[in-house]
Amino acid sequence: MANVVLVGSQWGDEGKAKVVDLLSKNADYIVRYQGGSNAGHTVNTGGKKYKFHLIPSGILNEGTICMVGNGTVIDPKVILREINELQDQGIDMSNLQISASAHVTMPYHLLIDAAQEEARGSKKIGTTCRGIGPTYADKSARSGLRMCELTDSSALLDKLKTLIPEKNIILDRLYGLEPLNIDEVFREYAEYGKQLAPYVFDTAAIVWEANKQRKNILFEGAQGTLLDLDHGTYPYVTSSNPVAGGACIGSGVGPNFIDRVIGIAKAYTTRVGEGPFPTEVQGSSAKILRAEGTAWEEIGTTTGRARRVGWFDAVLMRYAVRINGMDCLALTKLDVLDDLEEILVCNAYKDIRTGEVYKDLPAKSNFLKYVEPIYEKLAPWKDETKSVGATEIGQLSAGALSYVRYLESILEIPITIVSVGPSREQTIVLEDPIHGPKRVLETAI
Ligand code: GDP
Ligand code: IMO
Ligand code: MG
């Protein structure tokens, strides 16, 4: 087969876990390459609901080795809870491998994340308060603690003796919080290290060998393109690189490992947390887009916050296609549009200061604050895509199909998967996403 990167195209929660679960039957290895317990991934299959934060949802597939790569940040408490919960649901964890080089989210990271948010006041980012920003900040500042140290108690104690006094100054003087006790933190985290040690590996070396043996590797991104630290809607972003380029760094492989990039997008847009959102809607359409009162209501899996909702934004999507070098797209949640009286798609922005029209996102400060979406009106289909539980494209109503074809044409990218419900079965595979058609590059000069 091929080595594939799966990447969120919007502000996260695009339904990545469902697509990972779907494609995992063709994958020998899955590597989650960035992010931490800020992610919330849900899979519905066989009448059961599984929730993931750090472990790839491919773990549901018995034959697939699931790795949590070096580019991730791991809260040991959260991953241990996740392991235990999945085991209680009868899922075998012997295929889980955590990178020895992944950084560890420590108690001071959690405290500092929450304190920083509070201090930001009206300028808060709306983080998940899972310690993500402070853990990555320490990694960059070379003050981080990695899994290989968490699982080596003398290295752990040594590090804590330097790190905790430094963090205590910040906790106390900057935020007026209680200092942490080195011995208490050591005892608790050494125990987590002991419990996690059987799962810790040199994952990059294992992936290298797997590739030599022509195994199929799927690189799983968390969050989404617009939350990317470098390419997202900064500063309202996360602190890692969800974009496809992040797969190499976060797994320890070269760019020549990657054969294909598959983007995942909702048929509309959602966002959790603060930051610009040009196509955001309120009122009755928002109620439908938020799927209020249904089992798949738009509520954050990690934080329980209501997700903001809006129309499909083709300007941001063109940007996502470009930044990720996306080959094809999986479109999810088409069924949510079933009941709408009107369906809008933003195909361009007007800069309200200059009147200029944009079809792609320019690198300009505060640009999204000053844009007005230019909408195309599409025919609503008012048909029960979800209850049909379509598995063939022919089962979609003409209106739903023309929506898919319209998005394909304005984005200039093949849509190879259409998801019409939360369960594994409610999926239409139009073309083989791994070997089928790709975005065609413009003819070289
Ligand atoms: P992720 O973070 O990208 O993995 O997405 P989440 O799991 O956070 O959010 C997606 C939610 O939508 C989950 O509750 C899924 O079960 C659900 N979901 C996925 N695909 C579909 C779909 O096509 N239709 C509907 N109605 N729900 C879906
Ligand atoms: P999945 O993988 C949606 C958002 C937060 C906040 C910003 C920064 O489920 O798609 P952080 O805690 O990372 O410092 O918060 O990023 N955010 C997500 N939004 N889905 C996610 O993950 C997210 N992970 C972080 O809401 O706006
Ligand atoms: Mg999510």
Domains, the chain, in order of start with CATH, read 3-75+205-443 (3.90.170.10), 103-198 (1.10.300.10)
Per-residue pLDDT of the chain (445 residues; tens, 9 = 90+): 689 999 999 999 999 999 999 999 999 999 999 999 999 999 998 889 999 999 999 999 999 999 999 999 999 999 999 999 999 999 999 999 999 999 999 999 999 999 999 999 999 999 999 999 999 999 999 999 999 999 999 999 999 999 999 999 999 999 999 999 999 999 999 999 999 999 999 999 999 999 999 999 999 999 999 999 999 999 999 999 999 999 999 999 999 999 999 999 999 999 999 999 999 999 888 888 888 777 678 887 777 888 999 999 999 999 999 999 999 999 999 999 998 999 999 999 999 999 999 999 988 888 999 999 999 999 998 877 766 566 777 888 889 999 999 999 999 999 999 999 998 889 999 888 888 888 776 554 4
Distance from C-alpha of 423 to C-alpha of 395, rounded to nearest angstrom: 17
Q: What is the pLDDT of residue 397?
A: 85
Cβ–Cβ under 8 Å, residues 64 and 58: yes
Distance from C-alpha of 176 to C-alpha of 171, rounded to nearest angstrom: 6
Q: Which residues line ligand 2 (CB under 6 A)?
A: 8, 11-13, 38-41, 125-128, 130, 132-133, 222-224, 227, 236, 238-239, 272-273
Q: What is the pLDDT of residue 298?
A: 82
**Separation of 135 CA from ligand 2 center, angstroms?**
15
Report the residue among 23, 30, 42 best suited for mutation to probe ligand 1: largest number of ligand atoms under 8 A from its CB: 42
Q: Which residue shows structure tokens 């797209």?
A: 329
- DSSP annotation of 241 reads -
Q: What is the pLDDT of residue 349?
A: 97
Q: Which residue shows structure tokens 């509309």?
A: 268
Is residue 240 helix, strand or coil?
Answer: coil
Confirm or reject: Cβ of 242 under 6 Å from ligand 1. Answer: no
Give the number of the atom of ligand 2 that is nearest the alpha carbon of residue 38. Answer: 24
Distance of CA 114 to the CA centre of its chain: 21
Q: What is the pLDDT of residue 102?
A: 98
Exposed, middle or buried by CB within 10 Å (0-12, 13-18, 19+), for 393? middle
The residue nearest atom 8 of ligand 1, judged by CA position, is 13
Is residue 265 helix, strand or coil?
Answer: strand
Read off the amino acid at residue 245: G
Residues with CB under 5 A from ligand 3 (ion): 13, 40
Q: What is the pLDDT of residue 440?
A: 73
Distance from C-alpha of 205 to C-alpha of 189, rounded to nearest angstrom: 26
Distance from C-alpha of 322 to C-alpha of 365, rounded to nearest angstrom: 19
Exposed, middle or buried by CB within 10 Å (0-12, 13-18, 19+), for 155? middle
387: its two tokens: 């209850």
Longest dimension (CA), the chain: 65
**Which residues make Cβ contacts (< 8 Å) with residue 423, sequence separation at least 6?**
44, 45, 389
Q: What is the pLDDT of residue 389?
A: 63
| Count of positions (residues) in the chain | 445
C-alpha distances out from residue 432 to 5, 106, 263, 320, 437, Å:
15, 42, 14, 21, 8
Report the residue among 18, 41, 43 best suited for mutation to probe ligand 1: largest number of ligand atoms under 8 A from its CB: 18
Is residue 371 helix, strand or coil?
Answer: strand
**Separation of 11 CA from ligand 2 center, angstroms?**
8
Phi (first) and psi of residue 301, to 5 degrees:
-70, -35
Report the residue among 55, 127, 309 best suited for mutation to probe ligand 2: largest number of ligand atoms under 8 A from its CB: 127
How crowded is residue 49: how many other Cβ atoms within 10 Å of its Cβ?
12
